[in-house]
Structure 1
Amino acid sequence: MSKRTNAKYKLDRRMGENIWGRPKSPVNKREYGPGQHGQRRKGKLSDFGVQLRAKQKLKGYYGDVTEKQFRKVYAEAVRVKGNTAENLIGLLEQRLAMVVYRAKFAPTVWSARQLVNHGHILVNGRRTNIASARVKPGDVVEVGAKGREMVLVLEAQALSERDVPEYVQADGFKATYVRVPTLDEVPYPVKMEPNLVVEFYSR
């Protein structure tokens, strides 16, 4: 079972933004941070603070990605030809758990990871239980027989708060990963700044 190390709504409040665009997010009511010091006046962030915040927000959005995993993805984004910020987003969106989430097989990033970990997801007909496995363009991702009966999956497909993006073609319990998206194509509910993440790691 996937272990959620961070309370997702606490991250929302710390950032002061509804990162996943969820209707239940407390930021919709309280825009200040969590804890007893949450309402004190915020000082101006330094350049380092702005970059760190952008990194924490992007890393947090993708669920329980550890710092080690995130840095590894960044290192790969640097090695690949082209814009590092765009490469970083492309690599993060290729994670199997994210494709499951984008295809609306799960209501949250965490439940998508759990669905994969519990063996309910097939990639090209083969059961895959590694949430960080990379999906390539043309790969077919589908929910297994047991997963199709889960309330979680059925509720996710009925969600009206988000749509399936163009780079994932979903049809019922089956989805095809069409292409690696650009930053503009990824339906983030808030503004993400991968260029600041690149600056943070390249200091």
Structure 2
Amino acid sequence: MSKRHSAKYKIDRRMGENIWGRPKSPVNARQYGPGQHGQRRKQKVSDFGLQLRAKQKLKGFYGNITEKQFVRTYEEADRRKGNTSENLIGLLESRLDAIVYRAKFVPTVFAARQFVNHGHVLVNGKRVNIASYRVKAGDIVSVRERSKNMALVLEALQSGERDTPDYIELDPKAMTAKFIRQPEFSEVPYAVKMEPNLVIEFYSS
């Protein structure tokens, strides 16, 4: 198993939840944490513990992005007008790798980051290889012409595992996705319950 797959499944098992809703997740077979002590009886979790878990789960969902990047995203969400929780989700969903994943150009958010980093993605016709690039409303994200026949892309687009959300307008034949707008939290199709309000409490306490 590659390090990338190992890390992905480790997050699932540590959280005890199938974060991306994938049929191959080990949590589907055994719902306890990794390691020899994974089956110990769970103790009552403190408020801080709940906040930390909520942060780890949300951060993990987006490919386990670095703490530094996540803090920067929180700080921008906090600076913006309106609800900080909603702002945080909107900013995370406007990351280029998140949009590539939501558009089903690749099967996982980990693959999305690698796909972007390797230069397979265009934004408004120009190549962008920064996974954290912030896509704006109205931007067109597309797969480079020479990358359209990659087995990874073709299999992901044909997969019925998940649907493209309403805030992304997908043209599967052209392999283009228009980012309509930053979504509200309630519109984001998470496979498990996310609690961005606890993430805000974690950073603001």
Instruction: Answer whether TM exceeds 0.5 for this pair.
Output: yes
Per the alignment, residue 154 of structure 1 pairs with: 154
Unaligned runs of 5+ in 2: none
Task: Tell me the CA shift for residue 119 of structure 1.
Answer: 0.5
SS in 1 for 2:169: strand
Contact 1:5 1:64 in 2 (8 A): no
State the number of aligned residues.
Answer: 201
**In 2, Cα distance between the equivalents of 1:135 and 1:83?**
20
Q: TM-score, normalised by structure 1?
A: 0.97
Under a length normalisation based on structure 2, what TM-score does the superposition of the two structures give?
A: 0.96
Partner residue of 1:98?
98
Please list, as runs of the form range in 1=range in 2, the aligned pairs for 1:12-91 lying within 5 A after superposition.
12-91=12-91
Q: Helix, strand or coil: the match of 2:145?
A: coil
Letter in 2 for 1:192: M
**Which consecutive unaligned segments of at least 5 residues does structure 1 have?**
none
Partner of 1:176: 178
Q: CA deviation at 1:6?
A: 6.6
User: Counterparts of 1:179 and 1:140 in 2: how far apart (Å)?
Assistant: 12
Residue 107 of structure 1 deviates from its aligned partner by: 0.3
Residue type at the aligned position of 1:186: V
Q: How far apart in 2 are the matches of 1:162 and 1:5?
A: 19
Shift of 1:64: 3.4
Distance in 1 between residues matched to 2:190 and 2:106, nearest whole Å:
16
Which whole-Å deviations, capped at 9, do the CAs of 1:40-76 have from their partners, x for residues lacking one? 1010000000000000000000003100000000000
1:147 deviation in Å? 1.3
Describe the shift of the 1:6–1:67 C-alpha distance in structure 2 as closer, same or farther (beyond 3 A): farther
1:188 corresponds to which residue?
190
How much is the aligned-residue C-alpha RMSD, in angstroms?
1.2
The 5 A counterparts of 1:123-142 are: 123-142=123-142
Task: Please say if residues 4 and 64 of structure 1, whose CA atoms lie closer than 8 Å, have aligned partners that are also in contact.
Answer: no
1:165-191 superposed Cα distances (whole Å, 9 cap, x missing partner): 000000020110001000000000000
Percentage of identical aligned residues: 69
Q: Which runs of 4+ in 1 moved over 2 A?
A: 3-6
